[in-house]
A and B are shown apart, each in its own frame.
Chain A
Amino acid sequence: MTKWTTIAKHEYTYNVRRKEFIFLTLGMPLFIMVAMGLPVLLAGSSISHAEYRIGYVDKTGLFEPGNFTKYTDEELAKKNLLDNKITHFFVIPANYTATGKITIFAGKKDLMGRTVESQIRNFLIDNLLKRENKDVVERVKTPINSEYVTLNEKGETSDGGLSDFIVSVAFAVFFMLSIFTSSNFLLQGVVEEKENRVMEILLSSVSYRELLIGKIFGLGAVGLTQILAWLVIGLGILTSNPVVFAMLLDRMHVSIPLLLFAFSYFMLGYIVFASIMAGLGAVATTSREGQQMAGIFSLIGVIPMMFLQFILTNPGAPLTKILSYFPLTSPITMIMRLSTAEVQYYEVVLSTMILAVSAIVIIELSVKVFRASLLMYGKKPTLKEVIRYLSES
């Protein structure tokens, strides 16, 4: 094991075991769930489809019961509903075929009313088309099973157009979230290191560069762990509802190259931001102070989100090009462009290279600032001094 990986490992385990980390990582989804998701979740899981007992009152004489209970008397249906013998019933008026109007009565307030509706819908279609062949009935129920194909000059590429776009937006959100949360860990981690004064012992074993790189990767991984935990919890909740899960699976056809690009842009972009944050941590005396400076960089990172519409509609415009080469904005911009339009091969290579080189340069600059400001316990270097450190060879 090299020394920087030893440091990264230490930083990771030391910080992941922080109470605040565990609290925030588990607390945040819990909070969101309680705040908004819980009622839906409870409703969705407490009344399963099998528990629906649906009755109906038919005034047209067209409908045969199937799984539903037929009532001739509306008063009896109401009584049965109140006695909990059925969970819902609906009334089909005589002029139904002309208006499509029905009235649904429910025993309890039902947040998942749409599942009931879809059962009723299928019941109505089955009855209305009872003379049609089964396949036609199925088609009427789900008329489209879509697959997107984007045509280009060379022939066809069968990508999921909409899915790719969703992936790019998800990428952007995920990237920004990662940066915002990790900047916290990096700033705090570096500022604390200056305070706890272990630094000099470490520096008698490793170089400034190894120390900083170890910190960037270790603390960066802490940020990613948090984001991944949120993602897993989020997906877990989503997919715990089988209907939503099936729908997601059905809709997702993402091109593999896009995912690979997304991964490499994410990693490189993340390293760039993490290195900046570590450098800021080296300059700042308190993590609050670092946060303010970090805010500026994070804001620059959000620019592609603000120009979302513009980027998507003008993939070849100069502004779009600049944004897709500038290292702080290129990951999000490039993934958006890649998901919606053809991007020249060389452009991807060039922007990736710029990103990689910037990561290295920024790490080197951060090392310099780190070195220059480290032993000035509690003393904040002025902007002029920082510029001097950066220009010193």
Chain B
Amino acid sequence: MSQNPETPENPVGAASPVVIQVEGVHKTFGDLHVLKGCDLTVRSGEVAVLVGPSGSGKSTLLRCINQLEEPTAGRVLVDGVVQGYRAEPLPDGRWQKLRPVEIAAQRSRIGMVFQRFHLFPHLTALANVMEAPVQVRGLPRAAAEAKARELLERVGLGDRADHYPSELSGGQQQRVAIARALAMDPELMLFDEPTSALDPELVSEVLGVLKDLAADGMTMVVVTHEMGFAREVADRVVFMDEGRILESGTAEQVIDHPRSERLKGFLASVL
């Protein structure tokens, strides 16, 4: 291999394959230009932490990766596969959109955890975790249940399996949501401010689960304002501002030695 494993763009090592490739993605909502040409590469096993001021487009970028939003321009590849469109353009130059089932299949390999959990309130914690493996993958119920119990155990909630979400604390709900995403054996996980809706004393229990996942080698993109977490876990910190990626590098480079005035100002406001 000719690549240098020490380059900041590639802190994990040249051997690990690219999982997410965001190429020149723009996103507009009517007249509002939210993403203004974003490029991002995340390699297998890498933890990328996305930081930036409110409204800078972090959630929108994350949502473009698993097609909850359609990019207006540019494209997203996961494992080298174009998301949402056929690999090759049509003869007239247009891109053929995939059918809903094909998009669903692409999404099922990407786990997502939301700021406000979005657990299914009519299902117990266990049933929340079992739902997608049974309904999407067609796993037999017994196998799905065994797996769900194992995952709940892993996030420290083995004894809460029969509780409904309304009977769990915020931190417990978010851990169930993580277990629910893991149940689909995702190749990568997206976290959109997973601890922002939590009381301060509950933040650490969720960050603990994220750290364990990172240690197990999960590829992760995490939007967060927790700089301590970024410093400890991130292989790469990405700073977004006004729809652009302004700086990207190790936590040391980005958090401790910011180059742009925007990043200095942002860090002053969150640290």
On whether the two chains bind one another, the answer is no
